[in-house]
Every structure is written in structure tokens, then in C-alpha cells.
Amino acid sequence: MTEIAPVPMSNESPELLPRRLLFKDPDRSIVSISRDGTQIAFRAPVDGVLNLWVAPIKDIGKARPVTTVRDRNLGPSIVWMHDGRHVVFFREQGGDENWRIWRVDLQTNDIRPLTPASGVKSFVQQVSRHFPSELLVAHNERDKRYFDIYRVDVATGKSALLQANEGFANYLTDQHFQVRFATRMAENGDVERLHRGEGGEWELFARVSAEDAMATHPIGFSDDGRELHWLDSRGRDTAAVVAQDLESGSLRVLAENPRADFVALLREPLTKRPIAAASAVERTRWEVLDSDYKKDFDYLARQSDGDLEITGISQDRRNWIVAYRHDDTPRAYYHYDRDARQARWLFTSTPAFEHRPFVKMEPVTIRARDGLELVCYLSRPRGAPPGKQLPMVLLVHGGPWSRDGWGLHPTHQWLANRGYAVLSVNYRGSTGFGKAFINAANLEWAGKMHDDLIDAVDWAVAEGVADPARVAIMGTSYGGYAALVGLTFTPEKFACAVDLVGISNLVTLMNTIPEYWKPWKSLWKVRMGDYTTEEGRQFLEERSPLNRVDHIVRPLLIGQGANDVRVKASESEQIVAAMQQHGIPVTYLYYPDEGHGLGRPENRSSFAAVVEAFLAAHLGGRCEPIGDDFRDSTIEFKTGRDLIPGLG
């Protein structure tokens, strides 16, 4: 193995931040206010596992845990019922994404499930002030492809079928628990929204073309049921906030931004009328839609230079929970008293992140070879000599229909602390930048989507940021696929690659997706390639790293969760087997209690420890000794442990 020179750092290099610190769970997250504004709920650890806690909004010091699960963190959502007595939360098993809905009675501490046991995926369809102790849930117990809707009494747990799914992708319900619209996918990738006709049959209400489908969707009905609110790109490039009068069908544009999609809509608690909407190019920007709230947003904007988040508003509109996101300090939460127009600090998400030598995240815009503008984020290590080309990690986001954003990113901070420049790229297909940007990625997996990543690396080299001989590519899910593409389609470009739950073959991916994803497969034909024809399958095979394994000449590290329902473990296993068949070395890590990513902090730390040693060997960055980072982790080395120095 070629000897790699260590990264040069100044005499004032920052402390080596422990991986256990960087990849710990936050102390408080998913902060939610009760409907009456007197309490908040949030996730916080109990013996190292994130549980549900509740506290009076006026005395956070009296917070108490109301669940004590031991196996795995609760899910990333908390729902307050309008009765103020019950809180709804979610659990899964081993990363299988079969979320089961539970509730806790805050008066009696009674906890009970509201949906069927293991093997069933559930979500909350609707809550309403009109039914304080009831909610609509959807689950796929009857048919794994489709989600039926049930009306549930949260006090007793009794459930009654409201709508059997008749082959639709999903339904849209209103505040009066009426099923108003159904969604169906057309063979050409268009999305059909249907409503009940006079005879009770489903009839077409709106057809959203495949071109608009990724950026156009209904948000919900006004409380009186007369108006439907959309994020809508039809007739424009970026998604606007649109209100539709359901009696006349007329559309009214409430806000639009020619540079970015509106991606979040804040609505008034009682009337469900739009208050404000958020979009983001480099950072989040709010546009106030209701003048009654302008002074509130003006005040909140003055309190911090971070990006504002509204996590909840009480039903009387007087009490809000807001947060500010920064790039080098933890998220800070406040209670905003609207009557007094005063924000009171509550806590930060992760106190251990305070006063650490974190680095700034620099938004940069890079022009791709065909002229598309790519919004990217660059982090540079402290203490690096000015003008010195650094080893760099190209960090590719998953999806691919999601995006990277500005904020405190633990992986950026970790890698920058080890001496690497870190670059995240919103390549074509990333969401939030308009439909033309999304559609520019159609049929471009391992094509122009990969060209964007290469163009970003070339920019970093030309700008003197990156050493062209020491660039790694790393990512999860689609990002893992991109890492595999990097080594198989451009084998000399990257010094090494890290793939976590990445796709190795696009055809086998489509053949093994969850049953409940299948109603959306026609849209995937438009985006990825037509898996239903011989010509289309051949195209997908040509864009699959598995079929170019013999091109790999650089080191590869692969991680996989056994219970991944999106990218099955077979995706990693087949490329590892193919590499071994060709005599190509590879390191393969396996986690028997994880799914699509690493949920347990012990597993995140162990994976980071291996990645860090791997990058140090091939890029020359700083490396913290393994220490106890394998403790309590379920990490298994299937092959290639001996390929990475320093693992013990």
C-alpha cells in the first residue's frame, strides 16, 4: 500500500473531538407543544434510549419521562391529542420501518398500542380539534401494498375501518374525518387526484403530470372544508403556495419564489388557513402570508441569525415553540409568548455540542458542465495552512429526491475535525430548486447526476481546496450508490469510497422494494428507467455498478443493515461476492439490528471508527484510536477487517 502523508495542521490544531460525542443522540429533539399551550413533549434519553418526556411549558425543570423503552429509540414524530391527555408516539423493531402507533395517558400513565403488531406499517392520517380523543390512522395489515384508514378512539384503543383501500397510493382526509381525495398513479407517471362524484364513484379531480409530480402535492383542507391548499409547480418552474376554492375550482397563488420551491406551509391552528411558507436556496427563508403574523415573524427574525423553525403553535395561537438552526452550535429552542411578544430560551438540542471547535459551513454555488447551478456546502478544517490543497471527502446525500441543507452537520464536523475538506452537492434531482432541476435527472443515474459530482470535485481542485489525488466519495442510500458509481464508472477519480446501504443493481432494487412502494413504480419508470421492458432493463443494468465490478481499482468500504426494507442486504452482498470473485479486496460491515441506516448511536460510532481508520489509511487524515467505540455495537466484519490498519 502506498504510504499516505498525514494532513498538515497548524500548531493550534483543534482538539480531536470524540466520535462518541459527535454521533450521540441529541439530548432533546422532536419538541412539540400541547394544543392548549401548557405543556411540551420531546424525545430525551432514558438509560441511553430516546423516550418520550413531558414538561410544563413554564417549568422545563419538571420534565419527566412517560415511556421507558429499552430496545430502540422512539420514532421521529410526536402527536398531541386535542384532549390534552393523550400523546401519540411510534416504535419499530430493528430498523424495519414497520412503525407501530402507541399512546400514553398522561393522567394514568397507561400505555397501549393503537395499531397491529409487528409486520404492519402505520402512520397518522388525521387529527382534528373536532374529535379531541380520536384520530385517523392508516396501516397495511390487510394488504401489504395498500393502506386502509381506521378511526381510532385513543382512550380505549378501539378501531373501526373507515376506508378500505381500493388500490390507491393514498388518501386525503379533512378536519371532519371525511375521505375527500384518493391518489392514483397513471402508467405514464402522471399523478391522478380523484374525488367522489354524485353517484359515490371516484372521479378525476386533477391530473398532475409526471413533470410536476415531484413538486406538486396537496397540503390539506381549511377547517370548513371549502378550500384546499397546495404546493404547486403547475404552470411555473418552482412550487408556489396555492389555495383552491373547491366549489368553483379557481386557484389563487399566495406566494411564489422563482429561485426555489416552497417546501413547508405553516397553517393557523383553528381555521387551517396559511400563515407563512418556507423555501430555501442556500438557507431557509420565510414568507408571511397572513399580515396578522408579520410582527411575530419580524420579532423572531431579530432574535437570532440562525434559520428559524416553527415546531408548533397552541390552538389559541398565544404560545409557540420555535427553534434556530446554526452551522456551528446546536439547535436552540425557545418558548414564544405571542401576547407579550417575547421569546424565552428553553434549551439546546445537544448541550455537549456547545463551545466546541466546530467549523462554519460555507454555501457555494458550482456551475455544472451543462450550465446548471448546483447549491453546495463546504466545510474546511480549522488550522489548515492557507492555500494548502487538502484531502477531501465528497459527501453525497441520499434520496436522490431530497437535498442537503445548511446547519450543524455531525459528519461535516467530524471529517473537518480530522483534517478533511468536506463538500456536499445538491446534484440534479435534488428537491427544492424547481421542477426543471428535478427533471434534469430523469434517466441520468450514473449519467449527468454523476457528472455533477465530478464537476464539483473539479471545482474544488481548481479553487485550491482539494488535493486531486486524495478525494474520497462517501454516502448513504443513493449516496452509497453514487460511491459505487464513483469507483466503477470513474475508477481513477477517487482515492477510495465508502458506501452505506447503497444500491449495486437498479434492476434488483426494483424487484425487491417494499410492497407498499409498488403503487408508485410508474413514476420511477420516468425517473430511473423502464424496468418493465427488455430495453429498459438493459439500460438499468448498464447504469448498475454491479456490472462494472472489474473496473474497481481503489479501496472500498461497505456497510449494511440486515433489516433494510428499502435497499435489501442482498444489494451489498452481491457486489461483495462479485468483487471477491474477481479477487478485488473489500471491507464489508454488517449490522444485524439495523435497517436503512444506523439508528443506534453505538452502531454509528463503531461505523465512524472504521470509516475514520479507512480514510486515514488512504487520505492521511487524523485518526482517533478505536478505544471503546465497538462497545455495545452489533458490528460484524463479514470480510476485509485486515485491510484497514489500526482496528485491532
Catalytic residues: 477, 564, 596
Q: Evaluate whether 356 touches 350 at the Cβ level (below 8 Å).
A: no
Q: How far apart are CA 350 and CA 303, in angstroms?
A: 20
**DSSP line for 83-105:** TSSEEEEEE-STT---PEEEEEE
CA-to-CA dists, residue 562 to 118, 338, 349, 442, 596, angstroms: 17, 48, 30, 30, 9
> 3-class secondary structure for 375-389?
EEEEECCCCCCCCCC
421 neighbors 379 (Cβ within 8 angstroms): yes
Q: By the 8 A CB rule, do 255 and 290 touch?
A: no
What is the C-alpha separation between 580 and 640, in angstroms, rounded?
10
Q: In what order do the strands lie in the sheet with 587-591?
A: 361-367, 373-379, 421-425, 390-396, 466-476, 496-500, 556-561, 587-591, 636-639
Smallest Cα–Cα separation from 362: which of 465, 264, 457, 293? 465
Closest-CA residue to 473 (of 391, 579, 561, 399): 391
Alpha helices in 501-595 (DSSP H): 506-511, 521-527, 534-542, 569-581
- All 3 cell numbers of residue 519? 403503487
Helix (H, G, I), strand (E, B) or coil at 343: strand
- Contact between 80 and 71 (Cβ < 8 Å): no
Q: What three-state secondary structure class fits 592?
A: coil
Cell numbers representing residue 604 in the block: 454509528
122 vs 106: CA distance, rounded Å: 23
Host H or E run for residue 646? none
CB neighbour list of residue 205: distance below 8 Å, 6 or more residues apart? 181, 193, 194, 195
Count of CA atoms in the C-beta half-sphere (13 A) of 360: 4
**What's the start-to-end Cα distance of the chain, in Å?**
18
* Residue of 119, 117, 197, 181 whose CA lies nearest to 149: 181
Point out which residues pair with 478 in neighbouring strands: none
Burial class of 466 by CB neighbour count within 10 A (0 to 12, 13 to 18, 19+): buried
346-349: which pairs have CB atoms within 8 A and are 24 or more residues apart? 346/31, 346/40, 346/60, 346/321, 347/27, 347/28, 347/60, 348/27, 348/28, 349/26, 349/27, 349/28, 349/29, 349/323
Strand pairing partners for 93?
A: none
Q: CA-to-CA distance for 356 and 371, rounded, in angstroms?
A: 39
